[in-house]
Structure 1
Amino acid sequence: MNKENDILKWFNGDISTTEIKKRYPDEDFSALEKTAFYAKQIDTPKVDAQKALAEFKTKAFKKEASKVIPLNFQSFLKVAAVLVVMLTSSYFLFFNNTKSYSTEIAQTETFNLPDNSEVILNAQSKLSFNKKEWKNNRSLDLEGEAFFKVTKGEKFTVNTDAGSIQVLGTQFNVKERSNYFEVQCYEGSVSVTHNKQKVILTPGKSFRVINNEIDLTKDFNAENPSWLAKESSFDNVPLWQVINELEIQYNIIIDASKVDVTKAFSGSFTHVDKNIALQSVTIPLKLSYKINGNKVEFYDYAKN
């Protein structure tokens, strides 16, 4: 009963979402989170208790043999709230077929889709799909970055805000961050659609969009994306995108207001040592940095 009691406390706001997930890390709370959300949207009846009681007494005195039965509005509202939660829970448990995976800062997750295709989700990313329709429609939504090893079969589609990717069976990487979209093909062929423009990628080819502008890229010969080996690599990428990735991998906030964040960076940084990572980015660009807790400031050598 401990789990049930904890979940009830969570619904009442006595336990935070972070705390309940720490206590039960293997539990999928996505459906319950939606339940709590919709339950909160339903307004409970607002009753003027004094006015209602006065009207009730007036009617009671007009009938000699009538009995006064006190109304417990609080109990009524509690029962109503429980019914709302039960009905909403039933909907999400039996009719909601959306399956979701998500990662936090500096976290990755590996899992298999219903067709046994493998997905590795990079830090601060989210993927979702319809379990019931998957057999006939291998389509999913992605926010962030993921590497796919797709089993052969019907068309496989990855949808992002920046564009869509379609394959039959292949290995590819998709990165969709703020103002940045990149697809890299490692095996087979990949069809990428962006703003109604379609591009076919073969192994070693990339398609990149920065600030909604298509950016030409060089071919690559890697077998897997570098982030699978806990390293982020960049080829002629604006510094602001490198900074975004540093913040995602190390849970830091970087102030780069004193430097030119549009300058291009080519290189890599490790995911296992913050200082080495910062040095790997700043030294080639002739920058320096200061660390204060989880805040980092970038500045030019010449100005300090």
Structure 2
Amino acid sequence: MKKENDILKWFNRELSQQDIKDLKQSEDLDTLEKIKHYSSQLTAPKIDAHQALNAFKQQNKTKPESKVISLNFKTVFKVAAMVIIMLGASYFAFFNTTKNFTTDIAETQSLRLPDNSEVILNAKSSLTFNKKTWKDTRDLTLDGEAFFKVEKGQKFTVNTDAGIVQVLGTQFNVKERDNYFEVICFEGLVSVTHKNKSVTLAKGKGFKVVNNTIELIDNTNNSPSWTKAESSFNNIELNQVIAELERQYDITIEVESIDVSQLFTGTFTHNNLNTALLSVTIPLKISYKIKGSTVTFYKYEEK
């Protein structure tokens, strides 16, 4: 009962006389009376001080000490991104030593190799080599067609899917397309290896493989005709000529009742589509029609 009176006294002491007067004069008088009534019924909980102290000490003994570390995730992500960028830059600087050159349809490209050798890439071709090992082994890989003017020095090797070409210092042309492989020497000596068979070509000589048939050919030109914006053929199947027309003019050629295995000898220009088509179709007595980027070859009918 003494504890209850103490609580009530505390309550009355906390309210100043002016507060009580104000409350009595306000509409909250009933509220005040209710608070006084209910507070008189409050009973303080019984607490065993010694037992509480022992429980607190025991809790501190069994609870492991923990540390709370606050992380700023934005900072973490920024640092991680910087590390990834630095590692990527290091990789490309020290490990990615491959040089790659490519040409698109109707495009040629001239380039210089690390030893100052000159290469001209024909349309739709690619050339790759390792610049780190170039001084020791002048090796490169060709997909398509290219003309090489090689500086004298270590052995120079051109790798293709159809064969390998090796020289010391010379000028030569390599053409590797679907079912077609051709190497022509314009200066010096060229060694060609195809399916474990090797042949040496002197100036004016060529090596050709069409549909797995090997043929040695003669050449009287000083450079490939395609470097002068022309494509020349000597007894070449029409399907190979059609493929070259498509590469040089970015067109699609369809055939109707035409024998694409018939042989063609001649030249077409890279500068005028109609002139080029006439150069191919007239000797073979073929007609053609153009619709957008599609050209159709069909059998010529005499009137």
Query: If the TM-score is normalised by the length of the shorter chain, which range does it land in?
Result: 0.7 to 0.9
CA distance in 2, matches of 1:80, 1:153: 47
CA distance in 1, matches of 2:69, 2:132: 54
CA distance in 2, matches of 1:82, 1:94: 18
More deviation, 257-266/148-157: 257-266
CA distance in 1, matches of 2:199, 2:285: 37
Secondary structure of 2:220 counterpart = coil
- Residues paired across the two proteins, number: 240
Matches within 5 A, 1:256-267: 256-267=255-266
Secondary structure of 2:218 counterpart = coil
Are residues 136 and 256 of structure 1, via their aligned partners in 2, closer, same or farther at CA, if it must alter by over 3 Å? Answer: same
Are residues 169 and 70 of structure 1, via their aligned partners in 2, closer, same or farther at CA, if it must alter by over 3 Å? Answer: closer
Unpaired runs of 5+ residues, structure 2, are: 1-63
CA distance in 1, matches of 2:126, 2:291: 30
Letter aligned with residue 98 of structure 1:
T
Deviation at 1:217, TM superposition (A): 4.5
Letter aligned with residue 184 of structure 1:
I
More deviation, 85-94/106-115: 85-94
Matches within 5 A, 1:202-241: 202-214=202-214, 216-241=215-240
CA distance in 1, matches of 2:208, 2:272: 28
Aligned to 1:293: 292
Deviation at 1:69, TM superposition (A): 7.5
Secondary structure of 1:129 counterpart = strand
Partner deviation per Cα, 1:61-99 (whole Å, 9 max, x = no partner): xx9x99897997x99778756654542342112221111
Aligned to 1:146: 146
Are residues 76 and 278 of structure 1, via their aligned partners in 2, closer, same or farther at CA, if it must alter by over 3 Å? Answer: farther
CA distance in 1, matches of 2:292, 2:188: 45
Deviation at 1:101, TM superposition (A): 1.2
Root mean square deviation of aligned Cα:
2.5
Percent identical across equivalent pairs?
58
Aligned to 2:109: 109
Are residues 70 and 98 of structure 1, via their aligned partners in 2, closer, same or farther at CA, if it must alter by over 3 Å? Answer: closer
CA distance in 2, matches of 1:218, 1:194: 16
CA distance in 1, matches of 2:302, 2:203: 44
CA distance in 2, matches of 1:263, 1:82: 62
Deviation at 1:210, TM superposition (A): 1.2
More deviation, 169-178/95-104: 95-104
CA distance in 1, matches of 2:221, 2:301: 37
Aligned to 2:123: 123
Q: Which protein has the larger Cα radius of gyration, Structure 1 or Structure 2? A: 2
Aligned to 1:50: none
Aligned to 2:91: 91
More deviation, 84-93/200-209: 84-93
Aligned to 1:249: 248
Aligned to 2:167: 167
Letter aligned with residue 298 of structure 1:
F
Deviation at 1:154, TM superposition (A): 1.1
Unpaired runs of 5+ residues, structure 1, are: 1-62
Letter aligned with residue 181 of structure 1:
F
Letter aligned with residue 160 of structure 1:
T
Are residues 282 and 69 of structure 1, via their aligned partners in 2, closer, same or farther at CA, if it must alter by over 3 Å? Answer: same
TM-score when normalising by structure 1: 0.72
Partner deviation per Cα, 1:213-248 (whole Å, 9 max, x = no partner): 32x243121001101110000000011111110011
CA distance in 1, matches of 2:75, 2:286: 65
Secondary structure of 2:241 counterpart = helix
Deviation at 1:132, TM superposition (A): 1.1
TM-score when normalising by structure 2: 0.73
Secondary structure of 1:254 counterpart = strand
Deviation at 1:179, TM superposition (A): 1.4
Partner deviation per Cα, 1:39-82 (whole Å, 9 max, x = no partner): xxxxxxxxxxxxxxxxxxxxxxxx9x99897997x997787566
Matches within 5 A, 1:56-95: 83-95=83-95
Deviation at 1:100, TM superposition (A): 1.4
